[in-house]
Each structure stands twice: as structure tokens, then as C-alpha cells.
Amino acid sequence: MRRRDFLSLFAATSATGLLAACSGGGAGGGDATSAPPPALIPPDQLAGVKLRVGDQKGASQSLIRSAGLDDFPYQVEWATFTSGPPLLEALSADAIDIGGTGNTPPLFAAAAKADFKIVAASQGNVASDAVVVLPNSPLQSREQLRGKKIAVAKGSSAHGQILQTLAAVGLTPDDVQLVFLQPADALGAFKQGAVDAWAIWDPYFAQIQLESGARVIADGRSGGANGYTFQVASTAALADARRNSAIADYLTRLARANRFSDANREVRAQAWSQDTGLPIEVTRKATELGPDLPVPLDETVIRSEQELADAFVTAEEIPRRFTFADFVDTRFATQLATA
């Protein structure tokens, strides 16, 4: 186990206990008395259904389109977000039905008792979960971050990464100055030298390297990142037979598209650039390390996310402890296993 000075583990929780709460379809809390998931409707019977999908910088949309899998038998309404926290807010406000996010935003939403479920997981490289500095910065290592200003999007995967990066060298958030900024604002602050470092992810990571020659002083390979991303769905959409069936089809297409993009990275980069307006050089660099690939929502994922959640609680970044497994729903496991 990597060193985590402010990490609190629930070692006594059994695997059986963790997974027992993962198959329900009710509100975020894993109520055992909730209704079972509705029966799936064949995709060819979903005409007239509108599925509202939250995306980040065109990631899922371009993935599916580049794989030629965007011939949905239902209407998809895309909404783009700069990071996971505003996407989760939209999900809680019933503005979207499902969306993709990193490993940390669902933890903040769960702590706030939001009504949602995590329905699919993927895992990718952790080298692009990075802490960067400008080329002329005197900072050379994460040990030198004490007392420095670090820009990070609050509740984002980068927020989780910076906690783990600090913990690996015996630091806590109290030892640095975390400056909470969304990526667009953080980009300007970083370039102007208003902050000493920036905790970021792709495609912003690729962008700042190409635009400013940003230098990496730490990344997920040394900070204990788990590399997970999730698809999160509203419980209202999951309870609706037609939207629930559209979600099953959408998740299957997304899983297939991720695998396609791994073998066709230039196609993926071209589609990502076209969908977002990002320069092709940025999307090419962002795809170099490969896409997130589907993994089961199993005990390994749940334990890792519980550890991360407990780290946030111990660091007083999240106000209360909760059980991550209560927000996991494995109803689509069979479809995803054969996608």
C-alpha cells in the first residue's frame, strides 16, 4: 500500500458487504426496499426517447462518433461541461440523464446526498493526471510544493490527485494554498504566474504543455491515482423503462467506442478536434497515452474509491463520511461485459 498520511481505511468492511449495496436502482443510499430495475426494451423500440447526455470537452461524443456508433435509435441531446462538478450539479438538477466524470466529483455529490447512481466504470492512464509548473519555475519536485499556490478545480479528479500527491510526501492541504478555479480561469492564472502550479488532466494537460511548455513535477504514477472514470445516471432516468433502456444501449456503445479508439487513435484525435475546436496537435497529444477502457464495477473499484473518499473526509474537504458502494448500481454489468 502506498503511503497516505491522511488516508482512513475501512479495512473491516467485507467484500460481500461492499457489493451487497450495488445492485439497487433507488435513490443514492442503496435502499434495499427500492423497486427492481425496469425490464429492458429492445433498442429498435426506443424511437421518440430523448436521452440527455453530459459530456466533457466532447470526449464521449467524439469517441462514439469516431467509432461510427452514433446511429442512435433514440434522440441524444448533448451538453458539454468543463469538468465533473458542474456536470454532477446538472444531473442533480434533472438537466441531464447521464454523464461521464472523473473519480472525484461523484464523491462530493455523494457526500451532499445527491440522488444519482454510478452505472459504469473505466480506467485509463494516470500520467496525464499531472501537477505542472511553468518552464522557468524554480519548483523541481512535489516535495517543494509546501506553501505554494496550486490551482485546481474543486471536486474534480485533479482535486483528488493533488491530495494524494501531497500525502505521498507527507503534506496535507493545510501545507499548501489550494486555489479553486475551473480550467478556463486556471489556464489564465497559470500563464500569468498568479499560481505556482496547476493540477490538471487531459485535454487541458496537453494544451498547456504545447502552449506554454509546462513542466511536470508530479503525476498519478507517483501520487497513487487510480485512473478511474465513471458514468453517472439520475435515479429518475434509471426508474423510467424507456430512458433506462436507452442508457443501457448508450453505455454499450460507449464501451465499444473506447476500445475502438484505443486501436484507432488518429481517428479519435481527429473527431475530438472537430467536435471541440481544440487544435489537432492538442487532441493528438491527449490521445498518445490511450483512452479509458471499460472495467467492471467491482470490489476493487469500490475499495479504491472508498479510500479516496475517506482521504477527503480526513482532510476536511468533504464534511461527512459515506459508503461509496451505496451509490453504485451494477444493473448493466451483463451488457457491458459483452459489449
Give me the CATH number covering residue 276.
3.40.190.10
232 with 118, same domain: the answer is yes
Q: How far is it, in rounded angstroms, from Cα 132 to Cα 320?
A: 31
134 with 119, same domain: the answer is no
Q: Is 38 helix (H, G, I), strand (E, B) or coil?
A: coil
249 with 303, same domain: the answer is yes
End-of-domain residue from the set 168, 201, 223:
223
117 with 244, same domain: the answer is yes
45 with 185, same domain: the answer is no
End-of-domain residue from the set 223, 250, 284:
223
Q: Which of 103, 88, 92, 211 is nearest to 161 (CA)?
A: 103
Note whether residue 10 is domain-resident. Answer: no
120 with 240, same domain: the answer is yes
Residue 72: which domain range? 15-124+227-337
Note whether residue 9 is domain-resident. Answer: no
Q: For residue 155, what pLDDT is reported?
A: 85
Note whether residue 7 is domain-resident. Answer: no
Q: What angle do CA 285, 288, 289 make, to 5 degrees?
A: 125
Note whether residue 6 is domain-resident. Answer: no
End-of-domain residue from the set 223, 249, 270:
223
- pTM summary value: 0.83
Q: Which of 225, 34, 234, 231 is nearest to 128 (CA)?
A: 225
141 with 169, same domain: the answer is yes
Q: What is the pLDDT along the chain (339 residues), one digit of tens a residue?
A: 332 322 222 222 233 333 333 444 433 444 433 679 999 999 999 999 999 999 987 789 989 999 999 999 999 999 999 888 999 999 999 999 999 999 999 999 999 999 999 999 999 988 889 999 999 999 999 999 999 999 999 888 899 889 889 988 999 999 999 999 999 899 999 999 999 999 998 999 999 999 999 999 999 887 667 889 999 999 999 999 999 999 999 999 999 999 999 999 999 999 989 888 899 999 999 998 888 899 999 999 999 999 999 988 988 888 889 999 999 999 999 999 988
Note whether residue 4 is domain-resident. Answer: no
25 with 103, same domain: the answer is yes
99 with 190, same domain: the answer is no
Q: For residue 224, what pLDDT is reported?
A: 63
20 with 111, same domain: the answer is yes
Note whether residue 31 is domain-resident. Answer: yes
241 with 211, same domain: the answer is no
Q: For residue 65, what pLDDT is reported?
A: 92
298 with 333, same domain: the answer is yes
Question: Which residues, 6 or more positions from 260, have their beta carbon under 8 angstroms from its beta carbon?
Answer: 63, 66, 67, 69, 268
Note whether residue 292 is domain-resident. Answer: yes
* Max Cα-Cα span within the chain: 61
In the DSSP assignment, the letter for residue 232 is E
Q: For residue 228, what pLDDT is reported?
A: 93
Note whether residue 233 is domain-resident. Answer: yes
Q: Which of 120, 118, 113, 119 is nearest to 29 (CA)?
A: 113
Element containing residue 179 per DSSP (H, E): strand 177-180
- Using CB atoms within 10 Å of the CB of residue 282, give its burial: 0 to 12 exposed, 13 to 18 middle, 19+ buried: buried
Number of domains in the chain: 2
